[in-house]
Amino acid sequence: MRNLFSSDDTKNAKGPAGDRTPRHSSGWKELLKHLQTHESLRVLDIGPTSSTNINYITSLGHSIYMANLVEEAAKPEWVIPAEGDTPAGFDVDGFLTSNLNFSGRMFDVVILWDTADYLPEPLLAPLFSRIHQVLQPGGLMLAFFHATAEPDTPFNRYHLTETDVVEMQRAGSYPLLRSYTNRKVENMLSEFSNYRFFLAKDSLREVIITR
């Protein structure tokens, strides 16, 4: 089942119950200004489904689509078994077709959260290439990247607010697979025209990227 939903068919989406931790986000503050000063944008939220995000984005007059790639990528159906001297692999093409096929839709805004840190390595370059393909020229993406890889780092659902705060809520037990230097992030974003890093007090790097 494709893990892509529109704002129309996720009105009743619910996240698991749990405490929410507020976190100041300069990147969200910047993106919020963009959302508040433009009309009828199409937003792609790549992360665990949040009814809060759906309701807030649509209240601003935009449409929202959601894709929970980490949960999907953890399913065994995408693993290609080892054969002879060939090690096990990941069915990148099949995964992209099933989970990142937007049927010709283009997006004005993408919110990636920290999804890339939890995905198998073979998916990283294809993920950013696909986002580049479906993001409108001049479109914006907000992405989070971990600067350090602590073994007990929780996998979170991020909830938007009308302020410069996002609320984090534990959403599963998926392991954090990697962390990034600024240079590594820049290399992954080489197809995009511009990007801007925001300072943070915790281990997350925030980046606003322009197509």
Q: Residues 171-196: pLDDT tens digits?
A: 989 999 999 889 999 999 999 999 99
Is residue 16 within 8 Å of residue 96, measured between CB atoms?
A: no
pLDDT of 78 strictly over 50: yes
The SS3 of residue 186 is: helix
pLDDT tens-place string over residues 136-171: 999 999 999 999 888 789 999 999 999 999 999 999
| Range of weakest confidence among 7-16, 29-38, 92-101, 116-125 | 7-16
Predicted pLDDT of residue 171: 92
pLDDT of 30 strictly over 70: yes
4-74+90-210: CATH architecture = 3-Layer(aba) Sandwich (3.40)
How far is Cα 124 from Cα 187, in angstroms, rounded to an integer?
11
Predicted pLDDT of residue 164: 96
Strands (E), the chain: 4-6, 21-24, 42-46, 63-67, 79-80, 89-90, 107-113, 135-146, 155-160, 165-172, 194-198, 204-210
pLDDT tens-place string over residues 39-59: 999 999 999 999 999 999 999
| Range of weakest confidence among 8-12, 27-31, 197-201 | 8-12
Q: Which residue would you say has higher pLDDT here, 33 or 1?
A: 33
pLDDT band at 11 (very low <50, low <70, confident <90, very high): very low
How far is Cα 112 from Cα 84, in angstroms, rounded to an integer?
37
pLDDT of 25 strictly over 70: yes
Strand pairing report for 63-67 and 79-80: unpaired
Domain boundaries, the chain: 4-74+90-210
